[in-house]
Structure 1
Amino acid sequence: MLETDYKKCIEACLECLVICKQCAVACLNEKEVEHLKKCIKTNLECAAICNAAVEAMSLNGKFSKELCSICVKACEACAEECEIHAKMGMKHCEECAKACRECAKICKEMAA
């Protein structure tokens, strides 16, 4: 049975993970990828950290809160990077930034 305390956070992390990966792929499909390298790397790292947090929470692991704290930092960094590109009209980065901000907020609550 899924630990109800973690349910909301797991869902937010899973959504963020998927959107970060989709954003990375969308960035790779842009005509000029060179200026998106940092964004792509940040997307993939954020997705990996979200995944680790989900894994720990699904096990009701003792490091869940610590991983959620790290997830907050990764999501905030990803949101900041994506917001730069969102201002240039990249819709996928705008959506990613929103998902990351939401995930950071929920993870922060979980880590407290």
Structure 2
Amino acid sequence: MSDTRRIQHIDAWRFLAVNLVILSHFFIGSNFSFLVTTYPFLLTLGKFGELGVLIFFFISGFVICRGLVDERAETTWVSLKAFYVRRSCRILPPLYLYLGSSCFLVCIRLVKH
């Protein structure tokens, strides 16, 4: 999708969703979970991570459907092959970067021990 057709409000919702998930991980699943015992209201804030995931999936579905509808309006048909190639080009590079980084860190940890 080109920048001229980008919906700015979606970026704000995506920012909110990602931050809710990050805060949830920070307060519930990290070494800072002691803050939850000190300040119990943070546990409630941490549970908003589930809402962040739902918002993010909703946004993803909307953006994907909008792209397919726009493609059909422009070309009168939708190429699923082109769709999956585009999705693969967006999803696979970060996945490989994550997997490579994880393997690298595990190897470093194994060498130290």
Give the TM-score band, short-chain normalised.
0.3 to 0.5
- Structure with the bigger RCO (C-alpha within 8 Å, sep 6+) is 1
TM-score (norm 1): 0.43
Larger Rg: 2
